[in-house]
Amino acid sequence: MLKGKTALVTGSTSGIGLGIARALAGQGCAVMLNGFGDAAEIENIRANLAAEAGVDVRYNGADLSQADQIATLVGETVETLGGVDILVNNAGIQHTAPVTDFPPDIWDKIIAIMLTGAFHATRLALPHMLAKGWGRIINTSSVHGLVASIHKSAYVSAKHGIMGFTKVVALETAQSGVTCNAINPGFVHTDLVQAQIEDRAAAIGKPVADAARDMLSEKQPSLDFVTVDQIGALCLFLCSDAASQITGVPIPIDGGWTAQ
């Protein structure tokens, strides 16, 4: 479906971002990966994805809190892969603390990576999409772009901000062949979440399965995790012709979390 297209997926060396990159590559899309991690492990991920999908897969480790590095990232994507048809603003970090105890430097970093970084990537990639008359911008928001939870002031603020940004970009590109939407996952079963579940199980002296169910029961009525493959499939739909009139909207994939 996406043969001849090029995607830039930020925060794509693990978790949700890697799942999205894998889905796009599986449909013939060349992919620029971005994120942090062990260099050898990232190269292994890149090489395996390229071999499995039979597409060109590159990697750039730009720090998305730095505007100049984002410019280099977008520029390298255009230079090596021929353009940016699909931009997935996915990179994110988390820190939890009450507002009164929240470290200002960490607040600044979360906002820089998750909101300001998405702005810079979009403003730089969008002209390439407009020139072609086709493009897809997909912002990984969260249920926390629609509702709040305690101790997550920076994360919730960034995710609510990306929802406003999504709407503005959608309106500005409404007649251009470019769409801009946000996906809003609830609890997603990633390696990071699995580690949190195991820590929780150890702390409360329960089996891992019970700890997972307890976590889900607090927020997610389905009592089941969203998978990275489901999120990847949703992104593919948003890249399809069937979704050409879907723009400027949040799309929850949250097991009923935001229905409450």
Lowest mean pLDDT among 189-198, 199-208, 210-219, 237-246: 189-198
pLDDT in tens, 102-158: 999 999 999 999 999 999 999 999 999 999 999 999 999 999 999 999 999 999 999
Rg, Å, the chain Cα set: 18
For residue 200, the model assigns a pLDDT of 87
Contacts of 121 (CB under 8 A, 6+ apart): 8, 10, 64, 70, 73, 74, 87, 89
pLDDT in tens, 42-89: 999 999 999 999 999 999 999 999 999 999 999 999 999 999 999 999
Q: Which residues are catalytic?
A: 155
121 & 218 share domain: no
Domain-embedded: residue 236:
yes
68 & 54 share domain: yes
Domain-embedded: residue 79:
yes
80 & 20 share domain: yes
Contacts of 240 (CB under 8 A, 6+ apart): 1
Torsion of CA 48, 45, 183, 227, to 10 degrees: 80
For residue 133, the model assigns a pLDDT of 98
Has residue 192 got a pLDDT over 80? no
For residue 190, the model assigns a pLDDT of 87
Domain-embedded: residue 253:
yes
Please give the residue range of the domain that contains residue 204: 189-225
User: What tokens were used for 169?
Assistant: 């970009």
Average pLDDT, integer, range 168-193: 95
For residue 177, the model assigns a pLDDT of 98
For residue 137, the model assigns a pLDDT of 98
Domain-embedded: residue 1:
no
Closest CA to 33 of 44, 46, 24: 46
* CATH code, 237: 3.40.50.720
Give the pTM. 0.95
Domain-embedded: residue 145:
yes
For residue 109, the model assigns a pLDDT of 97
79 & 170 share domain: yes
Residue 240 binned pLDDT confidence (cut-offs 50, 70, 90): very high
Average pLDDT, integer, range 198-206: 90
145 & 197 share domain: no
79 & 208 share domain: no
Closest CA to 212 of 154, 255, 259: 255
CA dist., res. 238 & res. 236, Å (int):
5
